Structures are given as C-alpha cells and as structure tokens.
Amino acid sequence: MNRRLFLGLMTSSAISAVASIKEADDSVWISDKEVPIFLSIAKKIELIKRWVGNGNFNILSYDDMLKTAKYHSSIGKFTPIELAFMEKIFYQNPDTHGFYGKKTVPHITTKINKRDVVKIRHTGHYLFRGHSKESYKRVIGDVGRSLYLTSGVRGVPKQMNLYFNKIKRTGGNISLASRSLAPPAYSYHSIGDFDVGKKGWGYKNFTVSFITTKEFWKLRRLSYISMRYTVNNKDGVRFEPWHVKII
C-alpha cells in the first residue's frame, strides 16, 4: 500500500495521531495512487532548494524551479504527471479542505520581481520594498533587536515546499496541513506579510510559546501592524502569534 511510504517517514506517535484523525473526521487526503507522485515532487523541490540556496529559493519562480530540475541530472526534470499534480494542488479550491483565505497569487507561474524586494541582512529573507520594509524597520526600532525576521517574501516554490512538508508530517492529510499553513496560491507572504521571532528561540518562534516573550507583547501594543491569524480566525488557520499583518 502506497501509504506505507508516508508511514516510513513518521514517528510512532505521529502515526497513531494520524490514524485517529483518519477514523474521526472527513479530511481530504492524498490518495494512495498519488502518494509516490507527491513524494517524488517533494524530494525534487528539496533538492532544488539545496542547489540554489535557501535565500535564493525564497523568491525562486515556478518556471525557474522547473528549469533547475531539468538541467541538473542529480535532480531530474519534473514529469508530466508531476506537473499536473502541482497544478492541481495550486488551482484547487481549498474550501473543500478547510482553508477559507483569499487567493493572493493568480497563476502558478507568477514571478517575484527582484527589483520589488530587498534582502534583509543576516536573515536570508526578503521583504517587499516600500510599506513592508518600512514597517519591519519600524517594528525593530520599537521592539528592539532581540526581534528578527524569520520569514519574508515567498514565491510559489517556497510556499509549495512548506505546504508539501506539512502534508508529509500529517501522513497525507491535506485538510490538517491547510489548518497549519496556507496552500501555495493563498499565502499572504506573497503580498507583504512577514514572520518575526525572538533571537535564540529557534523553532519555538513558530509555536504558541512565542506569546510568552516580551517581544510578542511589545508587538501587540503597536498600532501600525496586526496579527493575521488570530484565535478562531476566518481563514481557518491555526493561531500564529508570530505572523505580522501589514495594515
């Protein structure tokens, strides 16, 4: 059974959790026949990220991703079936699996113009010039340099990579993944939002633990930004206290 390919990537506790979820609700799952296709795509995207580097990968376009795979034998070009699967994931209506946010990227081939973004020193991430960059600069000035940028502008491959990794961790549960992360065409990181965290906190910056920091409470007092994914938000995404909404 193809789902064993997923189970081989998961811990015993995660397997038990996924089994309970599958029995308890009507989530949308990667079908058994699509599992090897999905895992092949996810592996190729990871290899592309390593090849171009994390910083460049953040704003890599879909077309450039395909070219990178095609011209490097260690990766291998995407097959027609794989291309069709990626387009299906990008263009499908996410309402069916519990995500209700607005579409922010019209086409899978939508590119980020490098002239429109600026790389933030010592982070490897980019922000859009203008309002996003100035808002971030103002946030750092008001909160302090113990706060830093943990994720900025994301192209389609970057969001797809994050989304596919989330699906892998849920054992193929698209609905559960979509409650933790926006699908590739729906990320607000593509129109100006960004994530911040406390220096030295690592992965805890992407957990509810972030609300225990003084940096978070200083953020909450600022009038020129807001929290995108509040508790019980209308988009159907988990609570994300680290995600900054540009006002």
Domains of the chain (ranges; CATH) run 3-246 (3.30.1380.10)
Q: Which stretches within 53-200 are classed as H helix? A: 54-58, 62-70, 80-91, 131-143, 156-169, 174-178
Whole-prediction pTM: 0.90
pLDDT at 23: 42
Q: Per-residue confidence of the chain (247 residues) as pLDDT tens digits?
A: 455 556 555 445 444 444 444 444 678 999 999 999 999 999 999 999 999 999 999 999 999 999 999 999 999 999 999 999 999 999 999 999 899 999 999 999 999 999 999 999 999 999 999 999 999 999 999 999 999 999 999 999 999 999 999 999 999 999 999 999 999 999 999 999 999 999 999 999 999 999 999 999 999 999 999 999 999 999 999 999 999 998 8
Q: Token digits for 17?
A: 């959790």
Residue 18's pLDDT is 45
Q: Tokens representing 78? A: 């995407």
Provide the pLDDT for residue 7: 54
Amino acid at 202: G
With a CB cutoff of 8 Å and minimum separation 6, the contacts of 11 are: none
Task: Report the C-alpha gap between 149 and 83 in whole angstroms.
Answer: 32
CA distance 65 to 49: 9
